[in-house]
């Protein structure tokens, strides 16, 4: 779908700003997504003496970088002082889980950093810090999805030359739980 903004005149050599508003889909399975971005504009020649623009111009287009919409922009970080109590409050019936091997990640610290950035959730109980001598670690993350639903992730990560992990997500929304564990 194409979106257009009101037209603003920007003269050559002068920086300008353009904003775009996106409406996110209600179905969480449609995110993450990538959108192509093009800047379409009308070029008009100006009289160098008077500064007046010609009445007619020609359309031009500039291809911008793709816009990646990831989970990290849909989830707000939430600080939990007692992750275990919040986890137990959600209950086993509100859980989804999955197991993965991450072949491109070469350490526990690398896996933790990538997961924190990917989900955009708050690491709890200092679980984003991995001691150097460990080969296994549990990462605890808390957040609030865009519709106000609290979500929690508990990930058990083991490194034995390759990173293996079991990710569990809990929230009141089963579709969100499935999205969280299947989006890796």
- Report pLDDT digits (tens) over 141-171: 999 998 899 999 999 999 998 999 999 999 9
- Report pLDDT digits (tens) over 50-82: 878 888 889 999 898 998 888 888 899 999 999
Percent of the chain past pLDDT 90, that is, above it, reads 55
Which residues does 169 contact at the CB level (< 8 Å), separation at least 6? Answer: 95, 96, 97, 151, 152, 153, 176, 177, 180, 181
């Amino acid at each position: 779908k194409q979106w257009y903004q009101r037209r603003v005149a920007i003269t050559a050599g002068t920086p300008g700003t353009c904003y775009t508003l996106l409406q996110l889909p209600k179905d969480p399975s449609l995110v993450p997504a990538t959108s192509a971005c093009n800047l379409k504009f009308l070029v008009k020649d100006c009289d160098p003496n008077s500064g007046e623009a010609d009445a007619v111009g020609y359309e031009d287009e500039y291809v911008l970088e793709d816009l990646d919409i990831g989970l990290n922009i849909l989830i707000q970080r939430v600080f939990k002082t007692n992750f275990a109590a919040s986890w137990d409050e959600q209950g086993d019936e509100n859980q989804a889980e999955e197991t993965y091997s991450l072949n491109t990640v070469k350490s526990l610290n690398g896996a933790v950093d990538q997961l924190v950035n990917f989900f955009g959730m708050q690491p709890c109980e200092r679980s984003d810090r991995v001691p150097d001598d460990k080969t296994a670690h549990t990462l605890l993350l808390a957040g609030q999805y865009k519709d106000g639903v609290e979500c929690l992730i508990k990930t058990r990560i083991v490194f034995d030359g390759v990173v293996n992990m079991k990710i569990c997500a809990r929230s009141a929304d089963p579709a969100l739980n499935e999205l969280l564990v299947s989006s890796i």
